[in-house]
Amino acid sequence: MSMEGKKTAPIGVFDSGVGGLTVVREIIRHLPNENIVYFGDTARVPYGSKSQNTIIHFAEQIIRFLKTKEVKAIVIACNTASALALDAVRGEFDVPIIGVVVPGARAAVEETKNLHVGIVGTDATVQSGMYTKVIQSMNPRVQVAEKACPLFVPLVEEGFKEHPVTQEIIEYYLESIKQSDIDTMILGCTHYPLLRSKIKAYMGDRIHIVNPAYETAMDLKALLEEHDMANDGTDEPHSIYRFYVSDAAEKFRRFANTVMPFDVPTTNVVNIEEY
Ligand code: DGL
């Protein structure tokens, strides 16, 4: 895959909505010189309950949009789109595209001592079995237990992190996986890192939690360095972060301001159906 273009060109990051900001946050933390163009598909969220064909179609439209911003690489921050669309879209575009599943899976394979890994994610991610497939392609001896936790996304988006109902739902979803033999668990959905402390407290110290958002930022760093495309920041004093959504810009901005380390000034609405 060629990586032509300028080192100062932005990284394109996309997600079904606000959740991908957990990935942007990690990229900003670990690659502070990179410019970022983010697209959140707020008109069509959630992806977690949609079919593979629909998600591939959405991903193609978003990648076409991001390419108009001259991005040098694209990160699919959405676990669902990474699981269901990455393999289909990767060969279609002449820009490197990485997802969150492979980095998350690799970290879990490296971490597990007893070769038992748990995955939590949306219905679509779990039904795709993609995490299991990738993990077992890396080490066929690893046994994987996957569990869909669809209510975690609305709980996070409604700001219910500290609400008692969230604790109950964590226990409801995670009880069986906690009682299994896993020693490592992947937070296989963009929103789950925002519940990390609660999930960690429930699962206990015995279980190592993998955050694919962090692992993906590390993979992006390696990719840019390997292709000599990392922005060293000498051309611009500050990195530029631009945010686009397909609907409800103000709601996105309010949520973004609770997740990001700075105030998100403006968010632009794009008619993604045009791409
Ligand atoms: N971004 C999605 C994911 O990581 C969660 C929200 C959705 O279902 O669209 O799987």
Mean pLDDT of 116-126: 97
Ligand 1 contact via 190 beta carbon (within 6 Å): yes
Other CB atoms within a 10 A radius of the CB of residue 256 amount to 21
Ligand 1 contact via 216 beta carbon (within 6 Å): no
The pLDDT confidence band at residue 147, using thresholds 50, 70 and 90, is very high
Residue 65's alpha-carbon distances to 25, 70, 96, in angstroms, are 22, 10, 15
Q: Is the pLDDT of residue 65 over 60?
A: yes
Mean pLDDT of 112-136: 98
- Closest residue CA from atom 7 of ligand 1: 46
- Closest residue CA from atom 2 of ligand 1: 78
Mean pLDDT of 261-268: 90
Cα-to-centroid distance, 49 and ligand 1 (Å)? 9
The pLDDT confidence band at residue 56, using thresholds 50, 70 and 90, is very high
Q: How far apart are CA 233 and CA 72, in angstroms?
A: 15
Q: Is the pLDDT of residue 5 over 70?
A: no
Which of 55, 189, 246 most suits a substitution to test ligand 1, by most atoms within 8 Å of the C-beta? Answer: 189
The pLDDT of residue 4 is 52
The pLDDT confidence band at residue 120, using thresholds 50, 70 and 90, is very high
- The per-residue pLDDT of the chain, averaged, comes to 96
The pLDDT of residue 67 is 98
Q: Is 189 a catalytic residue?
A: yes
Q: Which among 192, 210, 217 is positioned nearest to 26, based on CA atoms?
A: 217
Asked whether 215 and 106 are in contact (CB, 8 A), the reply is yes
Q: What is the 3-state secondary structure (H, E, C) of 159-172?
A: CCCCCHHHHHHHHH
Is residue 133 classed exposed, middle or buried when 0-12, 13-18 and 19+ CB atoms within 10 A define those classes?
Answer: middle
Q: SS3 for 37? A: strand
Ligand 1 contact via 42 beta carbon (within 6 Å): no
Residue 132 region by backbone torsions, left for phi larger than 0, else alpha for psi between -120 and 50, else beta: alpha
The pLDDT of residue 57 is 98
Exactly one of 78, 107, 149, 210 is catalytic; which is it?
A: 78
The pLDDT of residue 1 is 53
pLDDT digits (tens, 9 = 90+) for 196-250: 999 999 999 999 999 999 999 999 999 999 999 999 988 877 899 999 999 999 9
Which of 54, 62, 75, 79 most suits a substitution to test ligand 1, by most atoms within 8 Å of the C-beta? Answer: 79
Q: Is 149 a catalytic residue?
A: no
Cα-to-centroid distance, 233 and ligand 1 (Å)? 32
Q: From the CA of 121, give the closest atom in ligand 1.
A: 10
Exactly one of 189, 195, 213, 220 is catalytic; which is it?
A: 189
The pLDDT of residue 234 is 84
Cα-to-centroid distance, 123 and ligand 1 (Å)? 9
The pLDDT confidence band at residue 2, using thresholds 50, 70 and 90, is low
